Amino acid sequence: MKKIAIITGASSGIGREFVKLLLREKEIHEIWAVARDKEKLSRLQKRYGERIKTFSVDLSDLDAILEFGKIIKQKKPQIKYLINSAGYAKFCSYRELSAEQTVNMIDVNCSAVAAVTLLAVPYMKRGSHILNLSSQASFQPLPYLNVYSAAKSFVRNYSRALHEELKNEGISVTAVCPGWMRTAFYRRAFIGARQTVNNFSGMARPGNVAAKALRDAKKNKDTSVYGMYVKTAHLAAKVLPQKMMMKLWMKQQNF
């Protein structure tokens, strides 16, 4: 039986860093790389070779996700890792997003994570790991990033609760909560809004965040937080009232 890793959002950013890290694990026969853009996926395969299998799937489309699920069912691989990395934000106020845009963001960031997880779990064994990309944005409500921060809270709570449910089966679920990372994320997030996120303190390299997340998953941790900056925010969000955390955010971003 083939041992594989499934990585959504594998063509860019931290997803791509996970591809590089898991290629070093010789027991992984194939990495199933999921994203929309076929050209980027094909470049990934050319760069990293035969062990990469590509799947162009729009994760905002449940039917497309279910089609992908049929491939899993047909091939019956042993899934050692599932990394749900695909996701995006928009830096703007509520009024600059249509209902369709808002729901699309929730679909990719939340629904797809739960759907792909449910399709993959039956093919996981003791010692398998699920890593879901949440964010520092999950620690508190973030005005002008409202849907995104709410979506990432969903991912964090979902992952931690599922971690408990899967404990007896020896499968870990880790909510990866990075602060700002240097990736292509910002190309999609900036839409030219008047009130836009503009302070990106504590920017980290995605490779470092991914390496820490994999180490934490192997230690069966339900949360992975990289770097002093995000660890401090994590602690602050535990002890300070959320209203105060929101005020700090508004001040930091000059809103």
Ligand X SMILES: NC(=O)c1ccc[n+]([C@@H]2O[C@H](COP(=O)([O-])OP(=O)(O)OC[C@H]3O[C@@H](n4cnc5c(N)ncnc54)[C@H](OP(=O)(O)O)[C@@H]3O)[C@@H](O)[C@H]2O)c1
Q: Does 153 bind ligand X (CB under 6 A)?
A: no
Does the annotation count 148 as an active-site position?
A: yes
Find the farthest-apart pair of alpha carbons in the chain and give their distance in angstroms, rounded: 54
Q: Is 54 in the site for ligand X (CB under 6 A)?
A: no
Q: Evaluate whether 214 touches 23 at the Cβ level (below 8 Å).
A: no
Query: What are the angstrom distances between the C-alpha of 47 and each of 50, 114, 244?
Result: 10, 30, 47
Q: Binding segment for ligand X among 80-88, 117-125, 218-226, 238-246 (CB under 6 A)? A: 80-88
| Catalytic pick among 148, 158, 226, 229 | 148
Does residue 138 belong to the site contacting ligand X (CB under 6 A)? no
Q: Residue type at 123?
A: Y
User: Is 213 near ligand X (CB under 6 A)?
Assistant: no
The yes or no reply on residue 60 touching ligand X (CB under 6 A) is yes
Closest CA to 69 of 57, 60, 81: 57
Nearest by Cα to 158 from 144, 135, 174: 174
Q: In terms of Cα–Cα distance, which of 204, 126, 198, 113 is closest to 159? A: 113
Report the half-sphere exposure of 47 (CA within 13 A, side-chain side): 16
d(CA 190, CA 163): 34
The correct pick among 131, 181, 217, 230 for binding ligand X (CB under 6 A) is: 181
| Stretch of 7-15, 73-81, 139-147, 166-174 lying at the interface with ligand X (CB under 6 A) | 7-15
85 binding ligand X? (CB under 6 A)? yes
- Judged by CB under 6 A, does residue 40 bind ligand X? yes
- Positions 9 through 38 that interact with ligand X (CB under 6 A): 9, 11-15, 35-37
Residue from 178, 197, 227, 245 in contact with ligand X (CB under 6 A): 178
| Residue closer to ligand X (CB basis): 85 or 172 | 85
